[in-house]
Structure 1
Amino acid sequence: MPYFTSDDTSIYYESRGEGPVLIFVSPPGLGCAAFEQQHPLADDFQVVTFDPRGNGRSERGNISENIIEQWTEDIYALASHLQAGQVTLCGYSYGGLPSQLFAYRYPEKTAALIMISSFPRVRTWMLAGKFRLGIWSTYENLIGTIGKALAFSHTSDQEQQKRIDWNIENSSPDVLERMYQNGRSQDNRSLLPAITCPVMTIFGTNDVFVKKNQHDFRTYLPGMHNVHIQGKAHQLPTRAAEEMNAIIRKFVAESQSASSSQPAEST
């Protein structure tokens, strides 16, 4: 199984296809299993997924006080391991937080930023409740129950449900707790105006968790692309895979075309 090393920690990843690199960043616990429906993108891209440190098959390592910042450095280590000049980050839900920080911190490595059902801060009471539930499950030893609930909400494919459930059950409870605790207090709004790469957000019109965060993105990233998938809720990578994959394919192609058509800087 392929691993890369970040800060002396072995982190599991999967890579398919060749071409421009797409790195998909999952919410806590889900890891690679969340993005199985994105494998067809490997016809046009190098599709990379990974289990964050302390999640699934990845080692726990030393967990820093701010795990979102540490997660960002892990993504940088992954991009370096892949020998990728630039990557397009696809941050799903909570995975958008380290993705936004990466685009801010490493503009030279970021070809584009795609945020899927994501947010720059916990703004709605529904999302805050989801974070509280995640923290509570680690206290009460209910990760297995939460894993089954998340697996069921993401897909009707029983084999994929088992993989998602396994990934969550095999994640370190203290790491998941730190992820949720840090996520509750993280606020990336001040970073967004400094992000220079092409940016797209994708939301389901029925998403009760993060729909209101579109206002934050419009305010702080006025030049971004915003796409809605009608009739869909939060779990777009699994429940709206065809539509989402087509949107990503089109956006990356247009971003590459715009980048290549810009005149070179004079020296």
Structure 2
Amino acid sequence: MKKQMIANGIKLAYQEAGSGAPVLLLHGFCGSSAYWEEVIPLLGQHYRVIAPDLRGHGDSDAPDGEFYGMEQFAEDLLALLDQLKLDQVSLFGHSLGGYITLAFAEKYPKRLRAFGLIHSTAYPDDEQGKAGRDKAVQTIEQQGMEPFIDGLIPRLFAPEHVQTMPDAVEQAKQIGFATPAEGAIRTAKGMKHRIDRNHVLRSAHTPVLLLAGEQDQIISRQKSFSVASPHIRQVLLTAVGHMSMYEAPEKLTEELATFLAE
């Protein structure tokens, strides 16, 4: 059962489970907190797990605006933490969620005990990536969400898993279909505008996890592992694409728990 609150002037929906030190999980583009539904109960055995629907996604509001900047998402997150009276959390972001995690870590480092990027990168979009955002916006505007999601979701999984995990692929598609078109468009434009935040990784005073999938067709391990440092733990999951929360939820949770315990 999702909970709701007004945070930063909009309705934010979120899931919550477990007790203990708080851990926040942020989903990716055209996803929702449901992306984490296999991870939440596993991690919730030892931690208080909170997974919001980002603005423009899931059951949260999709407010007006030219685009949703990563900094705007970070302000939503700050309002969520303040209302839940959480001074410090461990924050993990998948893909888009990772870009937001970096924006939050840059502005509010003292609110984080640790943070991690899950199949994400500190690099901004290159020219090819920006063209891809424009194409996504054009497809959604002209054809709607279904054709866009049908083209997107299979590329998020390791090629073999598209065949062997049809239920997971279908579930991810259904979540994508339910994403408000305007929310998806404004988010795509926001990702196009994001800045390079490798300096956040280099200067972090908290432990950092960088987790990549060996068969990720969206973000290469080189882009995920952009900074090496004693405070950064790099993890490569084998036989996994961009969606370890579906493709290997037990392994992902094990890596998160190991990192948190250390």
Q: Does the alignment reach a TM-score above 0.5? A: yes
Instruction: Report the CA distance shift for 1:150/1:44 in structure 2 as closer, same or farther (over 3 A).
Output: farther
Cross-structure match for 2:234: 226
Query: Helix, strand or coil: the match of 1:140?
Result: helix
Q: How many residues align?
A: 251
After superposition, give the CA deviation of every residue in 1:188-247 in whole Å (9 maximum; x if it has no partner): 2233333221101111122232222135233xx563110111222211111021111101
Instruction: Report the CA distance shift for 1:140/1:60 in structure 2 as closer, same or farther (over 3 A).
Output: same
Q: How far apart are residue 128 of structure 1 and its match?
A: 5.6
Cross-structure match for 1:20: 21
Cross-structure match for 1:111: 113
C-alpha distance in structure 2 between counterparts of 1:232 and 1:161, whole Å: 13
Q: TM-score, normalised by structure 1?
A: 0.83
Instruction: Report the CA distance shift for 1:19/1:137 in structure 2 as closer, same or farther (over 3 A).
Output: farther
Q: 2:209 aligns with which of 200, 203, 208?
A: 200
| Amino acid in structure 2 at the alignment position of 1:82 | L
After superposition, give the CA deviation of every residue in 1:138-173 in whole Å (9 maximum; x if it has no partner): 222331233345556558363x65654443333232
Instruction: Report the CA distance shift for 1:127/1:43 in structure 2 as closer, same or farther (over 3 A).
Output: farther
| Amino acid in structure 2 at the alignment position of 1:204 | G
C-alpha distance in structure 2 between counterparts of 1:137 and 1:217, whole Å: 34
Q: Return 5+ residue gaps in structure 2 as ranges.
A: none
Cross-structure match for 1:91: 93
Contact (CA 8 Å) 1:148, 1:161: kept in 2 or not? Answer: no
Cross-structure match for 1:176: 184
| Amino acid in structure 2 at the alignment position of 1:19 | G
Instruction: Report the CA distance shift for 1:82/1:149 in structure 2 as closer, same or farther (over 3 A).
Output: farther
Query: After alignment, is 172-181 or 126-135 more displaced?
Result: 126-135
Alignment of 1:101-180 (within 5 A): 101-122=103-124, 131-148=133-150, 156=165, 158=167, 164-180=172-188
Cross-structure match for 1:247: 255
Alignment of 1:41-56 (within 5 A): 41-56=43-58
Q: TM-score, normalised by structure 2?
A: 0.84
Q: Return 5+ residue gaps in structure 1 as ranges.
A: 255-267
Query: Helix, strand or coil: the match of 1:217?
Result: coil
Q: How far apart are residue 83 of structure 1 and its match?
A: 1.7
Instruction: Report the CA distance shift for 1:66/1:56 in structure 2 as closer, same or farther (over 3 A).
Output: closer
Cross-structure match for 1:5: 6
- Corresponding position: 1:32 with 2:41: no
| Amino acid in structure 2 at the alignment position of 1:252 | L
C-alpha distance in structure 2 between counterparts of 1:29 and 1:68, whole Å: 15
Contact (CA 8 Å) 1:126, 1:208: kept in 2 or not? Answer: no
What root-mean-square deviation, in Å, do the aligned CA atoms of Structure 1 and Structure 2 show? Answer: 2.5
Instruction: Report the CA distance shift for 1:215/1:24 in structure 2 as closer, same or farther (over 3 A).
Output: closer
C-alpha distance in structure 1 between counterparts of 2:133 and 2:239, whole Å: 24
- Corresponding position: 1:209 with 2:218: yes
C-alpha distance in structure 2 between counterparts of 1:19 and 1:71, whole Å: 25
